[in-house]
Amino acid sequence: MEQIKIIIAGPRGRMGSEAVKLVTNQDHFELSAVVDHKYDGMMLSDLEGFHSIHNVPVYSNIETCLQNVQADVLIDLTTPEVGMHHAKTALAYNVRPVVGTTGFTTSDLEELERICQERQLGCIIAPNFAIGAVLMMKFSQMAAKYFNDIEIIELHHDQKLDAPSGTAVKTAEMISAVREEKSQGHPNEKETIQGARGATFNGMHIHSVRLPGLVAHQQVLFGSDGQTLTIRHDSYHRGSFMSGVKVAVESVMTQNTFVYGLENILE
């Protein structure tokens, strides 16, 4: 594979520091520079936790960085506001952005899409980089064409505040886009204790389990006469996101359009 030159914005964050590890561990990836709002002009090896990574300059200004460093891809793991500015600037310098933040507005996304089209460049915005989770959602959507009856069980540690999880709702939305509308369960079904049948989303049911010890898990169950199909994702730690970053970087090099969501580049 050809060498891909990469700039990482946000290298000291939780995701960013994993991304630095990823890029420096891949033979066909090369870390050209990092963008960090502090530490302009230093070397990455001067920063705590990165002492062994040599010859990588730190810039605080994305434009200065792009003027001085040759790169193919920008991995941005900062914030939506900063990420939008970084992505637009990168495209102006013919560098393809891979952005891992959520919270972009619709007009942001439309603007990026327009720029990508004008410049015929790839750009990937991915709210979820865990490839297993994205495949779970994609497969669930595919299976929903053949199975009308679907229940989602998501299981998380008991410090999680909201139920159902964002991933469960996203899964249900993706399924709803293709599933023939149906109110599941027996029409005369009765809850003898309120809530037993879970949350209802377009006739499907979502159940949120919370227990100490759990990390982040979800299973989607499909049933029809005589059979069930189950798709389950277990996430044990943050490292799980990095496989998705790798795929996105490789994919963005071959794209010349804007892509929102990892599910659209997984075949």
Which residues are known to be catalytic? Answer: 156, 160
Comparing CB distances to a copy of itself, the nearer of 56 and 136 is 136
* Nearest approach, Cβ of residue 200 and a copy of itself (Å): 7
Comparing CB distances to a copy of itself, the nearer of 109 and 163 is 163
Question: Could you tell me which residues come within 8 angstroms of residue 35 by beta carbon, excluding any fewer than 6 positions away?
Answer: 7, 8, 9, 10, 11, 58, 59, 60, 61, 62, 65, 86
* Nearest approach, Cβ of residue 244 and a copy of itself (Å): 9
Burial 217-253 (b: 16+ CB within 10 A, else e): bbbbbbeeeeeeeebebebeeeebbbebbbbbbbbbe
**Binding to a copy of itself by residue 188, rule CB under 8 A?**
yes
**Binding to a copy of itself by residue 227, rule CB under 8 A?**
yes
Give Cα separations from 23 to 13, 108, 123, 231 (angstroms).
15, 27, 18, 30
Q: Are 201 and 163 in contact, with CB atoms under 8 Å apart?
A: no
Amino acid identity at 52: S
- Select the span of 45-53, 60-68, 92-100, 185-193 touching a copy of itself (CB under 8 A): 185-193
- Select the span of 5-13, 38-46, 98-106, 136-144 touching a copy of itself (CB under 8 A): 136-144
**Binding to a copy of itself by residue 226, rule CB under 8 A?**
yes
Strands 199-201 and 227-235: unpaired
| Residue of the chain from 240, 245, 255, 259 that contacts a copy of itself (CB under 8 A) | 240
Within 146-165, which residues bind a copy of itself (CB under 8 A)?
Answer: 146-147, 149-151, 153, 155, 158-164
Binding mask 197-216 for a copy of itself (x = CB under 8 A): xxxxx---xxxxxxxxxxx-
**Binding to a copy of itself by residue 182, rule CB under 8 A?**
no
Residue 97 burial class via C-beta count within 10 angstroms: exposed 0-12, middle 13-18, buried 19 and up: buried
Question: Could you tell me which residues come within 8 angstroms of residue 194 by beta carbon, excluding any fewer than 6 positions away?
Answer: none
Question: Could you tell me which residues come within 8 angstroms of residue 27 by beta carbon, excluding any fewer than 6 positions away?
Answer: none
| Residue of the chain from 247, 249, 252, 259 that contacts a copy of itself (CB under 8 A) | 247
**Binding to a copy of itself by residue 1, rule CB under 8 A?**
no
**Binding to a copy of itself by residue 264, rule CB under 8 A?**
no
- Select the span of 32-40, 73-81, 112-120, 193-201 touching a copy of itself (CB under 8 A): 193-201
Q: How many CB atoms lie within 10 A of CB 10?
A: 25
- Select the span of 1-9, 28-36, 48-56, 234-242 touching a copy of itself (CB under 8 A): 234-242
